[in-house]
Structure 1
Amino acid sequence: MTVVAFDLDGTLSNPSKGITASINYALEKVGAPRKEPADLNQYIGPPLNEIFSEILNTRNAVIIEEAISYYRERYVSIGYMENVLYEDIQEVLEVLIVRGIRLYVATSKRTDIAKSIIKYFDLQRYFVQVLGCDVQQQKHDLLKKIINLNDGHTLLMIGDRSYDMNAGRKVSAKCIGVLWGYGSSVELKKAGADVLVRNTSEMLDYIKTVHNFGVADL
């Protein structure tokens, strides 16, 4: 049996509007200048502490946590709904579960926020579990949990950033880098992606080689 772990932001959905607006909200609250939304897209994917450490040019944990708190204040209330599901994603999920593939979400977001997004898109029925990075957790910890729940089965990690590929490599998962998100082909290759895919059809073709099933036209 094949098990697939999907990243969320930049892989299943495009969260640009909500994330960039929430970052700017946090920057204003801590007295830092706002940035152009397009300049903030590079921060979609990494953990929040890394994002604000870089933007604010500080390692002061108190300042970083204050910014994260303001970010979540806006994101939890409205930001998570400023989100668009990528084309054909729901159809892909349907194909995979019909073929007996177990699906998970593994994201750097908090679990409660990730579940809210999946519920917002009405995708709960496709996933065995939605896993987020809560206190002191990293993405590879989530993948270890998935492996433990599915002992002996092949795990695929699908994501758009180096963080996803690095997490997959740490647990010896096969890694698919998607190019419709926010990571470049250079970033994904450097992080050890087994394959890069430009669209959902190419993604299904690769999963087919691992799971050995015929892919229906979307």
Structure 2
Amino acid sequence: MTTPPSTAPFDTVIFDLDGTVSDSAPGILASLDHAFKETGLTAPVNLLRFIGPPLQTAFLAEGFNLDEIEALLAAYREHYWEIGAFANYVYPGIEHLLNTLASDGFRLAIATSKPELTARRILEYFGYTERFEIIGGATFDMSRATKTLVLGYVLDQLTPCRPVMIGDRYHDVEGAFDHGVPCVGVRWGYSADDELEQAGAKWIVTEPAEILEIAHGVR
């Protein structure tokens, strides 16, 4: 059995999904647009802010009440399950990254704020389900919604391990910090200009290949 090189600072790589493994923005934005039109509610100007955090949290932050959020989520999920999930593509360089990490003996997992059933459906669409030892996501009843809770759920199934979190938003960094896990912040996702620095990501990369440098202890 291949094991990671002795210089590796971790042996398990846990990926966020949206904005990290794949560009899901086209489908998410289309489903959000559908949800606002279906409910008759006024959409915020910048819908990109909804990509990454749990949707319920994002709706609350925009001032929608619980009844409005329930209606928005129902309309969004119906559209996203059938249509939006597949307006989605894997970022360039990710397949090579996953292949190389796996061949070098690293364990791979997913921790996403997206509902777990939806995440599995998308990964199956990409043909990626078997690449990840654990696929962890949120629950539809929101009992497991924050990145801290999702990451804890994933770590419980991976222990013992020396993990790192890979993500594009502040909540990936903060969720990792809550578990004492270092985080690599990626620039190709949906973060604001200084979001990852402010959140305290240990490393920040602009290309997937840079993660291999970190994994091999040369950066």
Per the normalisation by structure 1, the TM-score is 0.89
Residue 161 (structure 1) aligns with: 169
- State how many pairs are aligned: 207
2: CA distance, partners of 1:160 / 1:17: 17
Give how far 1:201 is off: 1.3
Residue 27 (structure 1) aligns with: 36
Residue 106 (structure 2) aligns with: 101
For 2:56, which of 36, 40, 49 is the aligned residue? 49
For 1:121, which of 110, 122, 126 is the aligned residue? 126
Residue 199 (structure 1) aligns with: 207
Contact 1:8 1:105 in 2 (8 A): yes
Give how far 1:35 is off: 6.1
| Matching residue's letter, 2:47 | L
Calculate the aligned-residue CA RMSD, in Å: 1.8
For 1:89, which of 77, 91, 94 is the aligned residue? 94
Contact 2:31 2:79 in 1 (8 A): yes
Structure 1 consecutive aligned stretches of length 4 or more whose deviation exceeds 4 Å: none
| Matching residue's letter, 2:189 | G
SS at match of 1:157: strand
Contact 1:176 1:193 in 2 (8 A): yes
1: CA distance, partners of 2:194 / 2:44: 25
Give how far 1:145 is off: 2.9
Paired-residue identity, %: 34
Q: Which consecutive residues of structure 2, in runs of 5 or more, have no partner in the other structure?
A: 5-10
Question: Is 2:20 aligned against 1:11?
Answer: yes
Question: Is 2:81 aligned against 1:73?
Answer: no
